[in-house]
Amino acid sequence: MVGQSVHEVLLNKFRTLYGREPERVAYAPGRVEVLGNHTDYNEGFVLSAAINFGSFFALAGRSDGTTRLTAGDIMETVEFPSDDPRASRDHMWSNYVKGVQAGLNAIKPAAQGVDAMFLGNIPLGSGLSSSAALEMSAGLALAKFYEIPVDTVALAKIGQSAEHHFAGVKCGLLDQISSLCGEADALVCSDFRSLLIKTVPLGSDACFLMCNTNVKHALVDGAYNDRREACEKAARYFASVLPHPVQALRDVSWEEWLRHKAGLDEITARRAAHPIGENERVLSGIEMLRNRDLEGFGKLMFESHDSSRHNFENSCPELDTLVDAATAVPGVLGARLSGGGFGGSVVVLVHPRDADTAAAALRNVYGRKYGARCDTRVIACSAGAHMLG
């Protein structure tokens, strides 16, 4: 397995750099978002899955109070006080781990330093949440080492706080929850108001393709935060015109949006339409999966991407090319962008028997238009984050 080889590479690099064995090793997967785009911070519903690509994090204790943190792919190391990590402008990659350390310190201050290293196999900028995989693998390993009791939701919130305060992205909890709560051959169904998490079997007659455009999205550039602010503005408006309480766009139905959208400026109205419609698609999708209606579920994925393209405007031409092409590929049931958008990957629902031919067809379409083929991989719904030692 690719994950196993990454694990061994990490251990070898750790031994070479630090001259000893790690005391704790944790693994956390990336995630694929299947339905429910930008609904998490609107207190809505999401269907996602932990995937068979992720991040490993290894550490060993030191006798002083310093953390030495190494990115195993580029072998670059930063040092910082374990009990007082600060965000860095020079080594942005370190902020995800520093933010997690700060969150754990709020529960129990670090009593000693560590030598740490991480390495993963999630393509950066692919929309499969390499950042959350790093945060959750680091969180598990550090919590175990420092003997800090932290439950699933609390650890997810620590990762979210790291994104907010150290990386500058106002993300919801989707990525962290998906990484922690994944289950083999099942989708994770998350209610981001109650934080009730359950799984829904996908079945053996469907799998996912990841089609990575290699267009690097950068959510810290403000586009993600702008979309979130528009959703919050719309929620305040609907709270003022609807006869029932509105805490977030989760509380607004599609019919209510249609009836009252004229009171919003055109851009904010379209931004709000996206998560409102997504919530309804997720709830419909759960029932379709329970009824084994994969064709109906796939249509919801196409509808979701259309909303991303026209309402939320978080797609891009490369993503649109793949989704448009997928509509004509035999065996493909549905396709949409996955993650924050603005680049990254398309997730394609396909019959397993057709996965290879569908992947080849999509690579060829993309290559003819852009001069280089997109990367494709079969995605397996996998178990969530866990300790390896």
What residues are annotated to the active site?
175
Place of tokens 């403000």: 222
Contact present, 250 and 39 (Cβ < 8 Å): yes
Alpha carbon distance 136, 378 (integer Å): 23
Cα–Cα distances in angstroms (integers) from residue 336 to residues 87, 348, 351, in the given order? 34, 7, 16
Cα(277)–Cα(254) distance, integer angstroms: 6
How far is Cα 37 from Cα 273, in angstroms, rounded to an integer?
Answer: 12
CA pair distance 173, 290, nearest whole angstrom: 25
* 54, β-bridge pairs: 29
Beta bridge pairs of residue 299: none
Distances (CA, A) of 383 to 135, 140, 179, 187: 17, 15, 8, 10
Pairing label, strands 332-338, 345-350 = antiparallel
- Residue 351, classified by CB atoms within 10 Å of its CB into exposed (0-12), middle (13-18) or buried (19+), is middle
